[in-house]
């Protein structure tokens, strides 16, 4: 599962129970940017074992 600020943006379906497999997926999501200037976000990907990878990024909204 991947989430941005607690909102799910992607869930990878399992092809088999308890099967270890790697995958690579490009995920596109619309992210609402409400305030002008820099808006900070965090993307968190979590696997079934609870391991997480986090990436922080910023989107700047201009006038």
Three-state secondary structure string covering the chain = CEEECCEEEECCCCCCCCCCCCCCCCCCCCCCCCCCEEEEEEEEEECCCCCEEEEEEEEEECC
Rounded CA-CA distance 25/28 in Å is 10
Where are the domains positioned within the chain?
2-14+28-61
Considering the entire predicted model, what is its pTM? 0.64
Distances in Å between the Cα of 7 and the Cα atoms of 16, 32, 36, 42, 43 are 26, 11, 21, 10, 9
pLDDT tens for residues 2-45? 777 777 877 777 766 666 667 777 778 888 888 999 999 988 88
């Amino acid at each position: 599962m991947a989430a941005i600020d607690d909102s799910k943006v992607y869930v990878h379906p399992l092809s088999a129970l308890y099967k270890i497999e790697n995958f690579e997926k490009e995920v596109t999501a619309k992210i609402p940017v409400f305030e002008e200037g820099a808006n900070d976000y965090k993307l968190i990907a979590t696997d079934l074992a609870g391991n997480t990878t986090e990436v922080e990024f910023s989107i700047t909204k201009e006038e």
